[in-house]
Amino acid sequence: MRRGIVWFQGMLIFVAAGLVVTFFASGMLAPGKQQAAEKPTAGPSTQPAPTVGDQKPGVPAVPVSDHETWPREPVENPDRQLDVKATNPTVQLPAALGDDLTPYWQQSLSWQPCDAALCATMKVPMDWDNPGRAALDIKLTKVPSAEPTKGPLFVNPGGPGVEAGSFATTLGRDKWKGYDIVAWDPRGSGESTHVQCGTTEQTDAAYSADGTPDDEAEKTALNDAWAAFARECREASGELLDHISTIENVRDLDLLRFLMGAEKLNYLGVSYGTFVGAMYAELFPERTGHLVLDSAVDITNEGEVFQAEGFETALGLYADWCAGESSCSLGNSRDEVISRINSFLHGLDANPIKVGDRQVSQGQGATGIALFLYSGKEAYPRLTRTVEAAMNGNGRALLKAADGLTGRKENGWETSAYAFPAIRCVDQRDAGVAATEDTRKKVAEKAPVFGGNMGSDLVCERWTASSAPNLKLTGKGASPILVVGSTGDSATPYQQAVSMAKQLESGHLLTYDGPGHGSVIAGNACVDETVTAYLEDGTLPEDGKTCR
Active site residues: 271, 489, 517
Angle between helices 362-372 and 334-350 (to 10 degrees): 140
Please state the length of the chain: 548
Beta carbons of 485 and 497 less than 8 angstroms apart: yes
CB 537: neighbour CB atoms within 10 A? Answer: 8
Distance (Å) of CA 434 to CA 390, 398, 440, 443 = 34, 31, 11, 15
In the sheet with 151-156, reading across from the earlier edge strand, the strands are 45-47, 109-114, 117-125, 135-143, 179-184, 151-156, 265-270, 288-294, 481-488, 507-515, 546-547
Give the pairing type, strands 546-547 and 507-515.
parallel
Rounded CA-CA distance 82/464 in Å is: 5
What is the distance in angstroms between the CA of the first residue and the CA of the last residue of the chain?
Answer: 36
Q: Is 394 strand, coil or helix?
A: coil
Q: What are phi and psi of 46, to 5 degrees?
A: -115, 125
SS (H, E, C) 15-52: EEHHHHHHHHHHCCCCCCCCCCCCCCCCCCEEECCCCC
Beta carbons of 143 and 171 less than 8 angstroms apart: yes
Cα–Cα nearest to 15, from 228, 157, 184: 157
Rounded CA-CA distance 402/471 in Å is: 33
Q: Is the N-terminal amide bond of 160 cis, ω within 30° of 0?
A: yes
Rounded CA-CA distance 453/361 in Å is: 10
| Amino acid sitting at position 402 | A
Beta carbons of 504 and 478 less than 8 angstroms apart: yes
